[in-house]
A = this chain, B = another copy of it.
């Protein structure tokens, strides 16, 4: 039986406040680890292909709400570098009450619109069209129930790499499969299929990339076991994506490949503004617009 089959499994865990703090601390720790890794890749990138000084993350604190009451906030970490053309690794912890129409759509908020949500969200756009873009996010949400959600997907920008048998796609999926299997052999096939249906552009009848995993309203075993899985997803993504980028950063590219990348990024923009749940959630809960829309690519063409 899955979490979505049994609403009782979404009830609040004991000692919620401590668990919220643990989750929040983890998302911020993961952010630090990933930012350090990405800055290291900035340093390693060969200057012949990537002129200029290595980029560094800039952090911007933002507070939610009108300043009258504490409603949480976040830290946006954005780097515009020589290898990473634009990458955001954002954490936020927000709380308050959902607007009525939105509350009706959220598990556990129909009866009481109060919510708490903490998470990390990452989107990377590389200068080199041979280096795939990627997205990852994990989050903990509490209303009158609590659950985790998250996932990651790989977005090769060249058509030649945008199928599941391509080397990068195989590696990315193998790493997520190994991660999932450490926690439950049923997770990978289920969350892979969920990613395939979620990261899809119906109006184009096209997948966004080569998929990955996606899960939501996730509360399957104990809170501790579920949290361990969510932590593993973040670590596995960072390790897998870092290795993929290192493996391709030395490949030179053509003008035509760059044009293909910019064209694909247009599709990415369409997905984010038309379908992405994080974007919708953020815009409807008074999140920081600049942080939410920092997922937009640095340049896109149509």
Contact = CB atoms under 8 A, between A and B. Distances in A.
Interface residues of A, number: 20
Nearest to A292: B203
A197 interface: no
Interface stretch (A150-158, A180-188, A269-277): A269-277
A203 B300 contact: no
Nearest to A296: B302
Interface string A271-298: 0011000000001000001000110111
A289 B289 CA distance: 27
A4 interface: no
Nearest to A289: B203
A301 interface: yes
A97 B171 CA distance: 46
Contacts of A299: 262, 299-301
| Copies held by the complex | 2
Contacts of A274: 273, 283
Contacts of A289: 203-204
A299 B262 CA distance: 9
Contacts of A300: 269, 299-302
A266 interface: yes
A296 B203 CA distance: 15
A270 B270 contact: no
A298 B302 contact: yes
A262 B298 CA distance: 10
Interface of A: 86, 203-204, 262, 266, 269-270, 273-274, 283, 289, 293-294, 296-302
